[in-house]
């Protein structure tokens, strides 16, 4: 396997992981909860919510770096 095929496979895996993490985060973000939360005070992310958020951001950065690597090597 050459480096380009490894990067393309990594790209697909990272994309799938980002999709799953975003869907997990938005499970409680329906219309009723958004109306309810707009009237409440801001609360910070804690525990698992914070870990999922940080992992999503890290995977997003990895996706951009991986995309640029694929473009440069192509």
Task: Give the CA distances from residue 17 to residues 13, 73, 74, in Å, rounded to whole numbers and listed in that order.
Answer: 6, 24, 24
Instruction: Compute the distance between CA of residue 63 and CA of residue 57 in angstroms, rounded to an integer.
Output: 10
Predicted structure pTM score: 0.73
Q: How many domains does the chain have?
A: 1
Question: Using one digit for the tens of pLDDT, what is the confidence trace for 10-68?
Answer: 999 999 999 999 998 876 555 445 555 555 556 677 888 888 989 999 999 999 999 99
Maximum distance among all Cα pairs of the chain, rounded to whole angstroms: 54
Domain of 45 in residue numbering reads as 3-73
């Amino acid at each position: 396997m050459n480096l380009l095929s490894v990067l393309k496979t990594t790209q697909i895996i990272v994309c799938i992981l980002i999709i799953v993490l975003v869907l997990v985060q938005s499970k409680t973000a329906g219309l009723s909860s958004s109306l309810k939360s707009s009237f409440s005070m801001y609360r910070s992310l804690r525990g698992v919510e914070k870990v999922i958020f940080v992992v999503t951001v890290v995977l997003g950065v990895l996706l951009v770096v991986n995309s640029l690597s694929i473009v440069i090597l192509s």
